[in-house]
Structure 1
Amino acid sequence: MRSFLTALQFLTRIHIVSQKDLTMADFGRSTKFFPLVGAVLGAIYLLAALLLYVLFGLQGYTIKAVLVLLPILLTGGLHCDGFMDTVDGLFSGRSRERMLDIMKDSRTGSFGVVAFGAMLLLNWSLLMDLPVPVLLIAVFVMPIIGRMAMLFAVAYFPYARPEGMGRAFAEMADRKAVLIGLVTALLFTAPWGLAALAALLLSLLWAYVLGRWAEKKLGGLTGDVYGAVELTTETAVLAAFYLFAFLPFDRSALFLWM
């Protein structure tokens, strides 16, 4: 329970108990619960979407904007900051050392701001185009798969810096943690059908491709790259559901609850 609460309170703004005596090892041990934290967030997103559907329907522009902004509010923009820092560094065209310095800088550059704005627009557009039943499934599994992809990246790739909180995650995320996280992700995604399982598989593939590219640039991954993996994976999940929703197949074969 301690490790789960550590993961929940680190990755979100949901603070239940005071944890003032946490060590780096405590943060590291919490990685196996990342997908479970995603399930908590997914349940909140789903409940919010259902409430909005009952009150206003889900066809309006503003409603979809609320669903785009809700993850930012509940996570405090944690992964958004990592995504923007990663874009600033990796697309700077500088040396490895300079890229790492840029990513460590608390200021956000123009590359990061433009990329983040484009991602928000893409997420909003995908939600606008998804049929309502598919949208409800997508908003639930999206944070679960995103955090499973992040756990995979943490465990699979080396850490680029000699120190930092991300190193504690990388050192403690072993095969057992990945297995626990994967079982959790499967338990919460498999009941939704083949489309959700395919989105999970494609997202892990995306996490590998992005992680491998970042590793070649930086010699490893950083906490910012972990955030970028999570955030871009959520967008990849929405894109996968968009693709599956409009394939010329019987939707009941892809989405068990339709």
Structure 2
Amino acid sequence: MDSFFIGLQFLTRIHVVKQTVWTEEAFGKSVRYFPLVGLTLGLVYAAAAWCLTAAPAFLGWEPPVHVRAAVLAVLPFLLTGGIHCDGFMDTVDGVFSGRERERMLEIMKDSCTGSFAVVSFGILLLLQYAVLLDMPAGVVPTAMLVMPVVGRLMMVVGISLFPYARPEGMGKAFGRYADRKSCLWVTAYTLAILAVAGWQALLSAGAAAIFSCWCGRYVTGLLGGLTGDVYGTLCTVSELIVLMVYLFTYSAFF
């Protein structure tokens, strides 16, 4: 359980057990529990979505849909401390800078944020808000439950299937304890969890996996591997993909 709590403390602001000393092995093995960390977040998101959608119906009152969408769009950033969004912005700054490999890695490591990253994050947040605004109220809790589970599974995919771009760093510890065999095991139990949520959850995982494999190959071609920032990008964009799958499949089939 130590590895799970390390993953929970590292990826979220939910600190059930305060751990100040992490061994490299425990930190590396926490990758295997990333989807369970996502499930923990998903339960919180789903509870919040239910309180803003289904629960008010019992009282004969419904909160403004724009407020509901805004709260649910911002909630993931509050509970994760924006760690994955920071990775997304750093990745955009570096990968699309048009520079050489080493310069791209330097840009991604720089604490300063470029205008392109800010604009890209604004677009991402706007899309997430728009999708939540257009999504039927009854679908929102399930989509919010599935979203972080799939996002953290895609992080495991990136860590396990692609090399690490830097000689040292956070991802190096992850890579030592997350090989393709462990990726299969993590994928198997995550798909079992998603199957309970229904076919849309499995479809969204498939769509996110296609994006993650393409993105992983593209960035590896530029940088020679992935970094912690790219892992955050896989998670963030995959979460948006999940929401879009739920919106569009509901519109098409229901």
Q: TM-score per shorter chain, which class? A: over 0.9
Aligned to 1:224: 229
Aligned to 1:5: 5
Aligned to 1:169: 174
The question of whether the paired residues in 1 share the 8 Å contact of 2:47 and 2:141 is answered with: no
Is 1:178–2:210 an aligned residue pair? no
Is 1:109–2:114 an aligned residue pair? yes
Counterpart amino acid of 2:41? L
Provide the C-alpha distance between the structure 1 equivalents of 2:86 and 2:4, rounded to a whole number of angstroms: 23
Aligned to 1:62: 67
Counterpart amino acid of 1:89? G
For residues 52-85 of structure 1, the C-alpha deviation after alignment (integer angstroms, 9 at most, x for no partner) is 2224636510111010111000000000100000
Provide the C-alpha distance between the structure 2 equivalents of 1:131 and 1:210, rounded to a whole number of angstroms: 30
* Alignment equivalent of 1:209, drawn from 205, 211, 214: 214
- Identity among equivalent positions (%) equals 49
The question of whether the paired residues in 2 share the 8 Å contact of 1:45 and 1:67 is answered with: yes
Report the more deviating stretch, 236-245 or 75-84.
Answer: 236-245
* SS of corresponding position for 1:196: helix
* TM-score, L = length of structure 1: 0.93
Aligned to 2:163: 158
Provide the C-alpha distance between the structure 1 equivalents of 2:138 and 2:238, rounded to a whole number of angstroms: 21
Counterpart amino acid of 2:215? L
Deviation at 1:145, TM superposition (A): 0.4
Is 1:242–2:247 an aligned residue pair? yes
For residues 214-250 of structure 1, the C-alpha deviation after alignment (integer angstroms, 9 at most, x for no partner) is 1111110000000001000001111111221111x3x
CA gap of 1:151–1:58, structure 2 versus 1, over 3 A, is: farther
Provide the C-alpha distance between the structure 2 equivalents of 1:24 and 1:163, rounded to a whole number of angstroms: 13
Provide the C-alpha distance between the structure 2 equivalents of 1:214 and 1:139, rounded to a whole number of angstroms: 28
For residues 139-176 of structure 1, the C-alpha deviation after alignment (integer angstroms, 9 at most, x for no partner) is 11000000001100110000000000111112211234
Provide the C-alpha distance between the structure 2 equivalents of 1:184 and 1:49, rounded to a whole number of angstroms: 25
Aligned to 2:204: 199
Give RMSD over aligned pairs.
1.3
The question of whether the paired residues in 1 share the 8 Å contact of 2:161 and 2:180 is answered with: no
Aligned to 1:34: 34
Deviation at 1:179, TM superposition (A): 2.7
* SS of corresponding position for 1:49: helix
Aligned to 1:254: none
For residues 163-216 of structure 1, the C-alpha deviation after alignment (integer angstroms, 9 at most, x for no partner) is 001111122112342133213322321122211111111111111011111111
The question of whether the paired residues in 1 share the 8 Å contact of 2:92 and 2:116 is answered with: yes
Return 5+ residue gaps in structure 2 as ranges: none
Counterpart amino acid of 1:10? F
Deviation at 1:23, TM superposition (A): 2.0
Aligned to 1:190: 195
Is 1:124–2:133 an aligned residue pair? no
* TM-score, L = length of structure 2: 0.94
Provide the C-alpha distance between the structure 2 equivalents of 1:181 and 1:217, rounded to a whole number of angstroms: 28
Kindly tell me the number of residue pairs found equivalent between the two proteins: 249
Counterpart amino acid of 2:82? G
Aligned to 1:98: 103
* SS of corresponding position for 1:47: helix
Counterpart amino acid of 1:82? G
* Alignment equivalent of 2:81, drawn from 76, 82, 91: 76
Counterpart amino acid of 1:137? T
CA gap of 1:134–1:167, structure 2 versus 1, over 3 A, is: same
Provide the C-alpha distance between the structure 1 equivalents of 2:102 and 2:13, rounded to a whole number of angstroms: 32
Counterpart amino acid of 1:224? D
Is 1:85–2:90 an aligned residue pair? yes
